[in-house]
Each structure stands twice: as structure tokens, then as C-alpha cells.
């Protein structure tokens, strides 16, 4: 098991380094000159030759004249030290720019994932157990609708209904401007602001997972060992939760891990709709502003998360399914 | 046997079936009851799949609705093509409805005067009452329907016996028989603030409304102007004060007609309007469209000058049977009345504003009111005929574009992008899955690792980044192709896994071994012998991923990283909708696009689900 994990981690590092090469070349192809951008403001104040000198200095400092592979190595060295580059818009290191939005995104998404899991798993199991009942059919129709309507349309509807018409929740933002109060009141204020986005996110994510869990569970319930378990006279609860659910978990695990991983990026559209200062909004704004160091850092983060997710699901297979307890 | 069952039996005995039930049975399929002696006909697997699908009512409904939407958006744009460069400020953010020229019943038969605004019209009846109809809301706070408020009493002013009315771009004017002028509506540029000098002038001949401006013509031939002075070229001290007989207002300039029949420019600049044609002779009538001026002389000859454009065709004055005596300008078109009482029309015809209906040609029209895209013809018997722009089925967006047209054309774009993306992803998925499953070993390992990484990357952010990195310097058409390719390249992994699993399961079956021993090429074994056996899985997956592709395209375009304006798609039509002002005040800008997008995707998903059930052998157990 340890050896397998070790192997997987090595493989992860390999993939990651390939990805950085690809990204580095991709971002290198973007037309634009960061050194020129930096000294552009001095053009009016300096004489032409002084300006040219400043420009050359900037190029040297940024290492733009070095050959590509050396620049790449420098970049990787920076990465190892945790230097992700400099944001053009915020005029500070990318790692500092990213940290607050990342926290916000995780904060929002953890809520959504927990609420989502708490709703979808029981719902999926219930519908699979009572397959073809009216309840099941109703849930099926609702989930198809939920699955088919994009999150931003839900957001529009919810904003229209709850913010504009009823006025229960604020239209956008994370907190009341100039809010004064105790920490607890500040927290309540935050929850009040986040209620609508969270509602939309939960509804948006319910459908897909519920359908998936139902399918997996229905498959498991149609197996012969369920008949055996029932024939043994086991309680229905035991049959469902112990015998069927454990087997149904197998196909669900990948999806669940993917879902857990989505706490880092799942709220992209929501953040834009509700103007929440999260990672997704930062990404969109950086793309608009062509602040590519920030974009690249966020992209690297996503890749790391994706690889970690892969590793996690591989390992969890071993935990869930005794047949794949690997000892390669 | 209970009563209910008896009733049911009775119904079953009825052999006569209504046309509707037959249609229903044929569309959705109905199970034929077989007696115990009959044997069920042996069907090919595909027949069974089709029959099972047909008997699934939900999926069939989805299929039919989708087909309907699909054929509408594919065919309608051919009939209803879109002009991508179109934008019209006077028509922006208009609510759905066809009531722009719906005169109130009370004014019918006794029209005294009509003033035509961009989306609303104002009329005075012969008994001096003022009526306003059409889309009167200018902004969330200004509505032309609200008469001016008397600051003293806080109640609408009593305008008395109104004899003349005029409509500007976003305000309205009225003149009563005591020579008092009233103005209301948008007052940002003071176009609705009556200047003090008018309070002492009771002899007023006419009133005119322009773009953010109002002009009053006094009985002694002077013009008094109020409103936006930056946009409109008007010289208060022009040399023709005291000689004017008539005024015509374009959207940024005005001309006058003197009592001697000479056309004069009332501004100080030298521009297209001030280059008045020479040798016009004695002019009897003048008029203006938004960007051109027109005059007709004693001989009935029409002169058009200003910023005349070929595409709009304001200059194409038609041949007439008799002398033109009067011209009336719209936004980009002109109407002319001849001595015989015939009406001719020329100029831009995008809203059918210069197509005179047969009914109007036959009627005895004595007076025509035109403005913007609307025309009112008053017959001698007092009947009112209208032609031109009546309104919009689904309203207009912030650039004045018809949302219905954009929905049709956007639908075609959305569906095309979804379909092409699916074709790309399916092709890659099939090839990778088949190769990986059939050959196994190292190839399989490498392909699976690649697919794993791609499938675990967060889809939307990556599509966004790719489209903005690569599409940075692309034209909008290239960008559309790019979106299709990105969607295709990022979404083949699911299908790949399915195909691989299927190929793995059939790889060791006898027919494959037989094929192998016959010495058939491996390529042919995979694609000719194995693939046909997994086609059902592919079909289901392609259907479902068509829905996903459409959704992703919509999300991307909504965020501004997909297809970009002016090309419409259902997603980017919602692009400007994420602020509470639009959500609240201009609901038609997001509701319709959301509805069609939602319904289409729901239908595709229903079809996909139905197909999956039909293909799944377990669902045919009995």
C-alpha cells in the first residue's frame, strides 16, 4: 500500500512537471511584454535613452533575454520557493493575491458540499429503494430539470424571487458595507449574504449526484446477494445500508472525491453572479485584465487539486473495495 | 368485479377510436395485447430499442418537443436572417407586446393631431383631450404616460383644450387653444422645461419634438428652442427669426421653411444638412428623417439631402402619378401624399414601415402622421389606419435588437456548437476507447493516464482559460470554432471509458476470435466488428453530452468567454443580465432565453435517459 502510494505520488510529480512545461510554453506564446508594461509609465518622465536603459534593466531583471529552457528552470525554482509571480493589477506577489479569495471560496463551498451530501445521499438511497414509486418519479423529473438548467439561470430566478420581489436577501456581496458589530453578528451577516448563493449552489449540485447515487444503488439492489441477505431474514435497514450501500459506494467514490475537490472551484459562476470575492471571480477578472501570472497560478492550483483528487480516489478504491486492495 | 372494472371493460369494448387517440397511439406507440396462442414477432435488437423508446411517453414527448425547437431554430433563421451589425438606440429595452400603435378607443374617429415617438405616440382628440399609448416607459422612473405635475397642487396639470401634440425622443409636448405649451417626460437636458419667454407668447403656431430637444414655432415666425444644445446644432440668433413658416427636425439638426418658400438651415455649423440643394424653386413642404432632410417644391419634385445612405435608401424617391404636395419623415423613411390623395413611401423598410398596406392604398387618406417606424393614416371618414412597427414579440435588448430574432439565430448557433462539439468528443472518445480497450498494455496505460488527468481537471475554468488565452486575438467567427474544439477536446473522457469497458467485454468473444483467425486487420476488427456492437452506448452518451455541451457553451458565453456579441447564442444573450436592474426592470431580456435553453436541454436529457433505458437490456426483462 505504501509502495503503491509512493509510486502514485511520483507519477503525480511527473504529470505535474509535464503540465508546467505545457503551461509555460502556452503562456509564453501570449503576445505582450511585461518589461515594457512595467516601464511604460516612465516614458513621459524620462529621456528616450534613459527610458530605453530602464527598459533593458527591467528585461534583465525579469530574465526575458535568457533562452527559453533557462527561463523555465528559473520559473520552476521560483515555484519550489513558493514564488508564483507578480500580479500586474494588484502590484503584489500572486501568492498574496490568491490567499483571501481562496479562503472565501473554500468557506462557501464547504457549506455547499456538506449540505449537498446531507441531502443527496439519503435522497438517492430512498429513491433507489422505492424505485418506480411516485416519490421516485417526482424526484426523477425534478432532478432532470435541475440537471438541465444551468446555475446562472437558477441564480437569476432566485435573485428575482427572493432579492428583488420579496427582498429577503441581499442581491450581491459578502457583507454589509461598514458593518459594525460583534464577531457573532458579523458571522450572521455573512451567512445572511451567503444564504442565496448557497441555496442556488446546493440546488444546482443536487440533481447530478442524486441521479448517480440512485443508479448505483439501484444496480446494487438488483444483485443476487441482496436476495440472499433478504432471504436470511436480515432487517431491511441492514440490507440497504450495510449490504447494498457498501457495494453502491464503489462507483460513487470517484464522483464523491471529484465533488469534494470542487470546494476549490465549484462556485465560479455563483461568485460572478453574486459578486463574491472568491477564486472564481479572481480568475475571471484576471482573464479580463490579462493578469496572466495570477491565471497561471490559479491554473496550477487546479492541476494540483485534480492530481490530488486522482490519488485520493485511487486510494479510496482500496479502502472501499477489498478486491482492489493493492499491493503492487 | 367492482364497478370501476366494469366501467373500464366497457370502455375497452368501444372499438371506435377518436382521431386524437389514434394519433397519440401512433406517435407514442401502444402495446398490442397478444392472446396466449399468438407468438410475438421476433424483432431485431434495434427494432426493440426503437419500440421501447416509443413506448416511453416522457422520452417521446421530450423528443418531439426537441425536434420542434430544433427544426424551428434551423429553418427560421433562413426566413428571418439576422443583421449582426444592427443596433438602434431608439428601440432599446422595449417590453414585449404589439401595442405601439394601439390607439385608445376614446380617440378613434376624432383624431385632431398625433405625435409619434420612438415607441409611444401621443394624440389629441377633436374635443381637446390628450391620449398616450404604446410603450411609454422611458426608464424605471420616467413614464411619458404621467402628465406634468403642477408643483402647487401636486396633481396632474389640467391642460385645457389641447389642439396640437408632439413627441420627442423621450418626452412629449402639448399645445392648447390658449397658446399654452406643456412638456413632460425625460427632462435631463431640460427638453421638458418650458422657457420663461414662452409664458409671454400666446401666439404659437406649432410645436416639434426632437432628440432631447423641443422647438416651438410662434405665429410671428420665430423659433424657440429648448433642450440639449450640445448634440443639436441650433443657432438661437439665426437670421431667419420672424420669417419661419415651418420647421423640420432631424436627430441632430433642424431646418426651416420661410414664408417665401425658401429652405434655410437653423444651425451655425457647416454640415450635410446645411448644404441645401440649390435651384429648388419655391418649396411648399419640408420634412426630416433622423439623418436626412427633405423638401418638395411647387412642381412636386422632392429633394433629399443630409447623410443620405444607400442601405437605408432615403434618397430613392419613387415615380409618382401626380404631383407630391406633402412629405412626412419617419426615422429612416419618408411618406409622401400626392394631389390625388395617393400615398407613396420610400426608405428603410426593416420594420415594414415603408410598405403601404393595400387597405391604406384603397382608403381615402387625408392626413398621415409618421415618426420613427410608425405610420398613422387618417381617412376622410375619420378611420385610423396604422402600418409599420407594432412592437416586438419578446421585446428588445439593450441595443434595440429584437430578442425573438436573436433567439432564433442564437438557437441555431447554440445547437450547432453543441453538435459539433459532440461530434469531436465522440470521435476522439471512440478512437481512444477502442484502441485502448482492444490493444491494452502500455498503450492502454498511457491513454488512460492522459484521460484521467483531463477528466479530473475542472472543466469550466479550464475551458475559460483556454478560450481566453488562445482566442485573444481571434475574430468572432474563429472564436466560435475555437469554442467547439475546446468543448470537444475536454469532454471525450467519459465516453472513452465507456467504449473501453465495452470493448474489453466483447474482445474475447467468439466472433472476434473468429475474425482474428481469419486474418482480418486489427484496425478492421476494432472498427468494423467490435464497434457496431457498442454503438448503443455511444448513442446514449452522445445524446447526453450534446446537452452538456450546450450547457457549457451557455455558461461560457454567459461569462463572456464563449461566443461573443454580436453573434447571438442562448448563453450570451444572458450576458448583460446579471445585475438587479436588468433582472427587475427588463425581465424579458433573460426570461425567454432562459426558458428556451432550459426546455431544450431538458428535452435532450429526457431523450438521452429514454434511450439509455431502451438500450439497457435489463429494462426489457418481463
Q: What is the DSSP string of B108-176?
A: TT-EEEEEE-SSEEEEEETTS-EEEEE--B-SSS-BTTSPPBPTTTSSB----SEEEEEE-SSEEEEEE
2-31 of A, contacting B, C-beta below 8 A: 11, 15, 19, 26-27, 30-31
- By the CB < 8 Å criterion, does A297 face chain B? no
Of B453, B469, B547, the CB nearest to A306: B453
Residues of A in contact with B605 (CB under 8 A): 144, 147-148
Residue B403 predicted with pLDDT over 70: yes
Of B461, B578, B597, the CB nearest to A273: B578
CB pair distance less than 8 Å for B590 and A144: no
What is the per-residue pLDDT across B415-454, written as a single tens digit (0 to 9) for each?
999 999 999 999 999 999 988 888 888 888 889 888 888 8
Residue A328 predicted with pLDDT over 70: no
Cα-to-chain-centroid distance, residue A228: 42
Q: Tell me phi and psi for residue B245, to 5 degrees.
A: -115, -30
Angle at B346 between CA B344 and CA B352, to 5 degrees: 100
What is the per-residue pLDDT across A52-67, written as a single tens digit (0 to 9) for each?
888 888 777 777 777 7
What local confidence, expressed as pLDDT, does residue B1 receive?
A: 43
Of B457, B574, B577, the CB nearest to A303: B457
230-259 of A, contacting B, C-beta below 8 A: 258
The mean of the pLDDT values for chain A is 82
Interface test with B, best of A152, A251, A278, A298 (most B CBs within 10 A): A152
Of B461, B472, B587, the CB nearest to A30: B472
B23 — pLDDT class (breaks 50, 70, 90):
low
Closest residue of chain B to A211, computed from CA coordinates: B609
CB pair distance less than 8 Å for A310 and B456: yes
Q: What is the pTM of this model?
A: 0.84
CB pair distance less than 8 Å for A15 and B453: yes
Q: Rounded to a whole number, what is the distance in Å from the CA of A233 to chain B's nearest CA?
A: 27
**Residues A131-158, mean pLDDT to the nearest whole number:** 87
Residues B573, B401: Cα–Cα separation, whole Å: 11
B622 — pLDDT class (breaks 50, 70, 90):
very low
Could you confirm whether domain B98-232 is CATH 3.40.50.1110? Answer: no
CB pair distance less than 8 Å for A306 and B598: no
CB pair distance less than 8 Å for B464 and A284: yes
| CB atoms closer than 10 angstroms to residue B106 | 12
**Residues A140-160, mean pLDDT to the nearest whole number:** 87
Residue B264 predicted with pLDDT over 50: yes
- By the CB < 8 Å criterion, does A109 face chain B? no
Lowest pLDDT segment from A311-320, B85-94, B108-117: A311-320
What local confidence, expressed as pLDDT, does residue A131 receive?
A: 81
Residue B515 predicted with pLDDT over 80: yes
Closest residue of chain B to A304, computed from CA coordinates: B457
**Residues B11-25, mean pLDDT to the nearest whole number:** 57
Predicted ipTM of the assembly: 0.84
What is the per-residue pLDDT across B34-51, written as a single tens digit (0 to 9) for each?
666 666 667 777 788 888
- By the CB < 8 Å criterion, does A301 face chain B? no
Residues B572, A89: Cα–Cα separation, whole Å: 27
**Residues B46-63, mean pLDDT to the nearest whole number:** 84
Question: What sign for the dihedral angle of Cα A58, A60, A61, A66?
Answer: positive
For cell 446579471, name the residue.
B578
Grid cell for residue B518: 481469419
What local confidence, expressed as pLDDT, does residue B420 receive?
A: 94
HSE value, Cβ hemisphere, 13 Å, CA-based, for B201: 20
Q: Rounded to a whole number, what is the distance in Å from the CA of A40 to chain B's nearest CA?
A: 22
Residues of A in contact with B450 (CB under 8 A): none
Residues A103, A85: Cα–Cα separation, whole Å: 20
Residues of A in contact with B576 (CB under 8 A): none
CB pair distance less than 8 Å for B561 and A287: yes
Of B462, B554, B590, the CB nearest to A156: B590
What is the per-residue pLDDT across B587-619, written as a single tens digit (0 to 9) for each?
899 899 999 999 999 999 999 888 888 887 665
Grid cell for residue A53: 536603459
**Residues A169-181, mean pLDDT to the nearest whole number:** 75
Closest residue of chain A to B559, computed from CA coordinates: A269
Closest residue of chain A to B544, computed from CA coordinates: A148
Question: What sign for the dihedral angle of Cα B159, B161, B167, B173?
Answer: negative
B621 — pLDDT class (breaks 50, 70, 90):
very low
Of A261, A268, A310, the CB nearest to B460: A268
Q: Rounded to a whole number, what is the distance in Å from the CA of A53 to chain B's nearest CA?
A: 30
Under 8 Å between Cβ of B589 and B399: no
Residues of B in contact with A31 (CB under 8 A): 472-473
**B344 pairs with which residues across the strands?**
B336
- By the CB < 8 Å criterion, does A282 face chain B? no
What local confidence, expressed as pLDDT, does residue A295 receive?
A: 87
What is the per-residue pLDDT across A14-28, written as a single tens digit (0 to 9) for each?
888 888 888 888 887
157-196 of A, contacting B, C-beta below 8 A: 157, 159-160, 163-164, 171-172
Angle at B49 between CA B45 and CA B55, to 5 degrees: 140
| CB atoms closer than 10 angstroms to residue B415 | 23
Fold designation for B58-86+401-621? MetI-like fold (1.10.3720)
Residues of B in contact with A328 (CB under 8 A): none
Residue B14 predicted with pLDDT over 60: no
HSE value, Cβ hemisphere, 13 Å, CA-based, for B388: 31
- By the CB < 8 Å criterion, does B140 face chain A? no
What is the per-residue pLDDT across A200-212, written as a single tens digit (0 to 9) for each?
888 888 888 888 8
- By the CB < 8 Å criterion, does A298 face chain B? yes
What local confidence, expressed as pLDDT, does residue B30 receive?
A: 55
- Domain map of chain B by residue range? 58-86+401-621, 98-232
Fold designation for A95-320? MetI-like fold (1.10.3720)
What is the per-residue pLDDT across A65-110, written as a single tens digit (0 to 9) for each?
777 778 888 888 888 887 777 787 788 888 888 888 888 888 888 8
Of B453, B465, B584, the CB nearest to A295: B465
Residue B224 predicted with pLDDT over 70: yes
Amino acid at each position: 500500500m505504501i509502495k503503491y502510494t509512493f509510486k502514485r505520488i511520483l507519477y503525480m510529480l511527473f504529470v505535474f512537471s509535464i503540465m508546467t512545461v505545457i503551461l509555460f510554453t502556452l503562456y509564453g506564446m501570449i503576445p505582450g511584454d511585461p518589461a515594457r508594461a512595467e516601464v511604460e509609465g516612465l516614458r513621459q518622465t524620462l529621456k528616450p535613452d534613459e527610458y530605453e536603459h530602464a527598459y533593458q534593466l527591467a528585461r534583465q531583471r525579469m530574465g526575458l533575454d535568457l533562452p527559453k529552457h533557462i527561463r523555465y528552470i528559473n520559473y520552476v525554482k521560483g515555484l519550489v520557493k513558493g514564488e508564483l509571480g507578480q500580479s500586474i493589477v494588484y502590484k503584489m506577489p500572486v501568492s498574496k493575491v490568491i490567499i483571501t479569495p481562496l479562503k472565501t471560496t473554500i468557506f462557501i463551498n464547504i457549506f455547499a458540499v456538506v449540505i449537498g451530501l446531507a441531502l443527496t445521499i439519503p435522497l438517492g438511497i430512498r429513491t433507489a429503494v422505492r424505485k418506480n414509486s411516485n416519490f421516485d418519479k417526482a424526484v426523477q423529473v425534478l432532478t432532470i430539470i435541475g440537471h438541465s438548467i444551468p446555475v446562472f439561470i437558477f441564480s437569476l430566478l432566485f435573485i428575482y424571487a427572493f432579492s428583488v420581489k420579496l427582498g429577503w436577501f441581499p442581491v450581491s456581496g459578502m457583507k454589509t458595507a461598514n458593518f459594525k458589530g460583534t464577531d457573532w453578528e458579523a458571522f450572521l451577516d455573512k451567512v445572511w449574504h451567503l444564504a442565496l448563493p448557497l441555496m442556488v449552489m446546493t440546488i444546482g449540485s443536487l440533481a447530478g449526484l442524486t441521479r448517480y447515487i440512485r443508479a448505483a444503488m439501484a444496480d446494487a439492489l438488483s444483485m443476487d446477494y441482496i436476495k440472499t441477505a433478504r432471504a436470511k431474514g436480515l432487517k431491511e435497514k441492514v440490507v440497504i445500508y450495510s449490504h447494498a450501500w457498501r457495494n453502491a459506494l464503489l462507483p460513487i467514490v470517484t464522483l464523491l472525491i471529484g465533488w469534494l475537490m470542487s470546494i476549490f472551484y465549484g462556485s465560479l459562476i455563483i461568485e460572478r453572479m453574486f459578486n463574491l470575492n472568491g477564486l472564481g471571480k479572481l480568475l475571471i477578472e484576471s482573464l479580463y485584465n490579462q493578469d496572466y501570472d495570477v491565471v497561471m497560478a490559479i491554473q496550477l492550483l487546479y492541476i494540483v487539486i485534480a492530481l490530488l483528487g486522482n490519488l485520493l480516489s485511487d486510494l479510496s478504491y482500496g479502502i472501499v473495495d477489498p478486491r482492489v486492495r493493492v499491493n503492487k | 368485479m367492482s364497478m370501476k372494472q366494469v366501467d373500464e371493460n366497457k370502455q375497452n369494448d368501444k372499438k371506435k377510436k377518436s382521431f386524437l387517440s389514434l394519433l397519440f397511439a401512433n406517435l407514442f406507440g401502444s402495446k398490442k395485447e397478444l392472446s396466449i396462442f399468438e407468438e410475438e414477432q421476433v424483432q431485431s435488437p434495434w427494432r426493440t430499442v426503437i419500440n421501447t423508446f416509443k413506448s416511453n411517453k416522457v422520452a417521446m414527448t421530450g423528443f418531439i418537443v426537441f425536434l420542434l425547437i430544433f427544426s424551428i431554430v434551423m429553418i427560421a433563421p433562413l426566413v428571418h436572417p439576422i443583421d449582426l451589425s444592427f443596433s438602434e438606440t431608439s428601440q432599446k429595452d422595449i417590453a414585449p407586446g404589439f401595442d405601439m400603435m394601439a390607439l385608445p378607443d376614446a380617440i378613434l374617429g376624432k383624431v385632431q393631431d398625433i405625435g409619434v415617438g420612438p415607441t409611444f405616440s401621443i394624440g389629441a382628440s377633436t374635443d381637446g383631450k390628450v391620449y398616450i399609448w404604446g410603450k411609454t416607459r422611458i426608464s424605471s422612473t420616467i413614464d411619458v404616460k404621467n402628465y406634468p405635475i403642477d408643483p402647487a397642487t401636486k396633481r396632474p396639470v389640467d391642460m385645457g383644450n389641447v389642439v396640437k401634440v408632439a413627441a420627442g425622443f423621450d418626452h412629449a409636448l402639448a399645445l392648447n387653444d390658449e397658446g399654452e405649451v406643456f412638456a413632460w417626460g425625460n427632462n435631463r437636458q431640460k427638453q421638458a422645461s418650458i422657457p420663461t419667454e414662452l409664458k409671454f407668447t400666446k401666439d404659437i403656431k406649432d410645436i416639434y419634438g426632437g432628440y432631447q430637444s423641443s422647438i416651438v414655432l410662434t405665429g410671428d415666425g420665430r423659433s424657440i428652442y429648448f433642450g440639449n444644445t450640445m448634440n443639436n446644432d441650433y443657432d438661437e440668433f439665426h437670421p431667419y427669426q420672424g420669417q419661419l413658416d415651418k420647421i423640420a427636425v432631424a436627430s441632430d439638426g433642424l431646418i426651416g421653411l420661410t414664408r417665401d418658400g425658401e429652405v434655410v438651415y437653423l444651425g451655425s455649423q457647416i454640415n450635410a444638412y446645411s448644404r441645401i440643394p440649390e435651384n429648388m424653386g419655391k418649396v411648399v413642404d419640408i420634412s426630416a428623417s433622423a439623418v436626412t432632410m427633405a423638401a418638395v417644391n411647387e412642381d412636386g419634385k422632392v429633394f433629399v439631402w443630409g447623410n443620405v445612405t444607400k442601405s437605408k435608401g432615403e434618397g430613392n424617391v419613387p415615380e409618382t402619378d401626380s404631383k407630391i404636395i406633402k412629405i412626412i419623415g419617419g426615422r429612416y423613411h419618408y411618406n409622401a401624399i400626392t394631389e390625388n390623395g395617393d400615398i407613396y413611401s420610400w426608405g428603410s423598410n426593416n420594420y415594414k414601415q415603408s410598405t403601404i398596406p393595400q387597405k391604406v392604398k384603397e382608403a381615402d387618406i387625408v392626413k398621415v402622421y409618421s415618426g420613427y417606424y410608425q405610420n398613422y393614416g387618417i381617412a376622410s371618414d375619420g378611420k385610423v389606419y396604422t402600418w409599420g412597427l407594432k412592437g416586438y414579440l419578446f421585446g428588445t435588448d439593450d441595443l434595440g435588437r429584437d430578442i425573438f430574432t436573436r433567439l432564433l439565430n442564437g438557437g441555431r448557433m447554440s445547437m450547432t456548437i453543441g453538435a459539433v462539439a459532440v461530434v469531436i468528443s465522440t470521435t476522439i472518445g471512440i478512437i481512444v476507447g477502442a484502441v485502448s480497450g482492444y490493444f491494452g498494455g502500455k498503450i492502454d496505460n498511457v491513454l488512460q493516464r492522459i484521460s484521467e488527468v483531463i477528466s479530473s481537471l475542472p472543466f469550466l475554468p479550464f475551458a475559460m482559460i483556454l478560450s481566453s488565452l488562445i482566442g485573444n486575438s481571434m475574430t468572432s467567427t474563429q472564436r466560435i470554432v475555437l469554442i467547439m474544439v475546446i468543448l470537444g477536446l475536454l469532454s471525450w473522457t467519459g465516453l472513452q471509458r465507456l467504449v473501453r469497458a465495452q470493448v474489453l467485454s466483447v474482445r474475447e468473444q467468439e466472433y472476434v476470435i473468429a475474425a482474428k483467425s481469419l486474418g482480418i486487420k486489427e484496425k478492421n476488427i476494432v472498427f468494423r466488428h467490435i464497434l457496431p456492437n457498442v454503438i448503443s452506448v455511444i448513442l446514449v452518451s452522445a445524446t447526453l453530452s450534446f446537452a452538456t455541451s450546450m450547457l457549457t457553451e451557455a455558461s461560457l458565453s454567459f461569462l463572456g468567454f464563449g461566443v461573443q456579441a454580436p453573434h447571438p447564442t442562448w448563453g450570451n444573450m444572458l450576458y448583460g443580465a446579471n445585475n438587479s436592474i436588468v433582472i427587475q426592470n427588463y425581465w424579458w431580456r433573460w426570461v425567454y432565453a432562459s426558458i428556451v435553453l432550459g426546455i431544450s436541454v431538458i428535452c435532450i436529457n429526457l431523450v438521452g435517459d429514454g434511450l439509455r433505458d431502451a438500450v439497457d437490456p435489463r429494462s426489457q426483462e418481463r
